[in-house]
Chains A and B, each alone.
Chain A
Amino acid sequence: MAVSDTLQAVFESGEVSLPADGIPTVRVPLAELLEAVEQVRGALGHSRFVDLTAVDRLTSEDRFELVYLFYSLEAHTWLRLKARTDHAAPSITPLVPGANWYEREVFDLFGLDFQGHPNLKRLMLPDDWQGHPLRRTEPLGSEPVDFTVTRKMYGTD
């Protein structure tokens, strides 16, 4: 596809793919992330920042996949940027003020450190919370539901 070719030409060391939703996706090495963001927002015209999140892929190396979503107001298309990391990534907040809380949320729930973020503190959870719940190795934290049947089973009667 023409879009994939263009992207592959721009991001030589990136992997270009087209997932089921039709949004062109580029995975770049972490070291090139800031430059990639500038290119996506500049030369490629996708200046509107939409979303930033992380996915815990549970691999032994580079476990977390950061997913950035940008949008072009001229071409009406989205563009997804991905980067894998173990625990830290450069912050894009100096470039994109709208990413401020998104990076804080990823720090809060996944424990990723965004270097260069002006105020990297917990956002959703209490300040003294231990742990990063959205990591897939962390439990859901549910408690057993209290039915009369389970009282007999768990002996809590």
Chain B
Amino acid sequence: MALTDQSTAAKPELLTINMGPQHPSTHGVLRLELVLDGEIVVHCRPVIGYLHTGIEKTFESKTYVQGVVLTDRTDYLNSLGNNLAYALSIEALMGCEIPARATVLRVLLAEFTRLASHLMFIGAMALDLGASSPFLYCWREREKILDFFERMSGARMMTSFIRPGGLVRDLDASILADMSAFIDAMPAYVDSYEDLLTGNPIFRERTEGVGVLTGDDALALGVSGPILRASRVAFDVRKANPYCGYETYDFEIPTGTVGDCYDRYLVRVAEMRETVRICRQALDKLPDGPVQTADRKVMPPPREELARSMEAVIHHFKLWTEGIRPPVGEAYVGVESPRGELGFYVVSDGSGRPIRVHERAPSFANLQALPRIIEGGAMADVVACMATMDPIMGEVDR
């Protein structure tokens, strides 16, 4: 391990301490080995793998649609976003068209998930820094979002609602009306979180100038998402490589000025406001129509059709026994998760099961930057840095 000049004979006493994997502030099972010189962190070595679930291996033994269930559980705060990334890769492989209503609803659901993830981020970050009230306020709104997910799909978190070919089912008018009312009320809630934290002198002291990450360092380490944008690199996959019609929505990409923890917090709060704008536009322009593709090789026919059409019965049979069968090939579609660029690299050999599914998890790359922002800082800043990195160990370890 590399030691800095501080480890000369003048200060030979370095303390190695272990933080995690069981620790209230690690945002999951992340273990940090810290070498301290007094209060300064001289070296930081993250140890991951405590949540390695063998998800990528498990994909190979499941059909493509069964695999949707696994995608929920990698980045568990961005379940619908993961479903979307996986579905987009398979639809690219199969060359399948998605109806307009499904596309707009996908944007709506992905943005709601982004909102829920950022609410969790603010709550968890504040809690880590010692402020317990924002946690409760943020979770009050998060509960409303989870209620919408439960009403539409039956599950609060792992909905598996976005499948290759469209959505599982349509959202009815009452859910959409309530979502609309929620979106209208959201900016006031974001104002209330900002009232608690953004101008708070203690919060600012603990985050301003702490954990600075330059844009060059961030790019060299493969960082993406709000962390990269806080380091002044204005890259957002939704703007650079629009998917699901994002080019038709009007929204900004907030960037930071310094690249410290405070900037990373501000960028995410600003992203919440932009997300509200996107959701408003999605709700306003939602067209009527089906939410599943008509391609019977991807989505099963409706039950009524089975009584009338032999072809429908055959499609139904093949889909339920073999599953969907993409042609030989590979596909990767990058999407913007709340943590950065996310994508599923799906490799098919023409059979009903993939031969390889690899998740390009944004937190995996982002976490490589953690030693860079922790080293040289104080021990007390480690928690603030970790909180603003917002790693989700489920997708880091997969």
Contact = CB atoms under 8 A, between A and B. Distances in A.
Q: Do chains A and B touch in the complex (CB under 8 A)?
A: yes
Q: How large is the interface on B (under 10, 10 to 19, 20 to 34, 35 or more residues)?
A: 35 or more
Contacts of A143: none
B58 interface: yes
A136 B330 contact: no
B397 interface: yes
A139 to B, nearest CB: 9
B92 interface: yes
A55 B347 contact: yes
Interface in B92-124: 92-95
Q: How large is the interface on A (under 10, 10 to 19, 20 to 34, 35 or more residues)?
A: 35 or more
B241 A76 contact: yes
A98 B362 CA distance: 12
B48 A124 contact: yes
B297 interface: no
A120 B79 CA distance: 32
A88 interface: no
Contacts of A23: 332
Contacts of A109: 56
Nearest to A55: B356
Contacts of B57: 133-134, 140
A21 B52 CA distance: 28
Interface in B252-267: none
Contact of A19 (B219, B233, B331): B331
A11 interface: no
Interface core residue of A22, A23, A51, A78 (most chain B CB under 10 Å): A51
Given A96-B220, A100-B368, A124-B397, A51 B356 contact: no
Contact of B343 (A51, A98, A133, A141): A51
Contacts of A123: 48-49
Nearest to B332: A21
A31 interface: no
Contacts of A96: 220, 222
Given A50-B360, A51-B358, A20 B221 contact: no
A101 B397 CA distance: 11
A48 B52 contact: no
Given A78-B334, A125-B49, A140-B54, 12 more contacts: A20-B329, A73-B233, A76-B240, A76-B241, A96-B220, A96-B222, A99-B222, A101-B364, A101-B367, A124-B49, A126-B49, A134-B56
Q: Which 8 A-B pairs have the closest CB atoms?
A: A98-B222, A21-B331, A124-B52, A124-B49, A53-B358, A51-B360, A76-B240, A21-B92
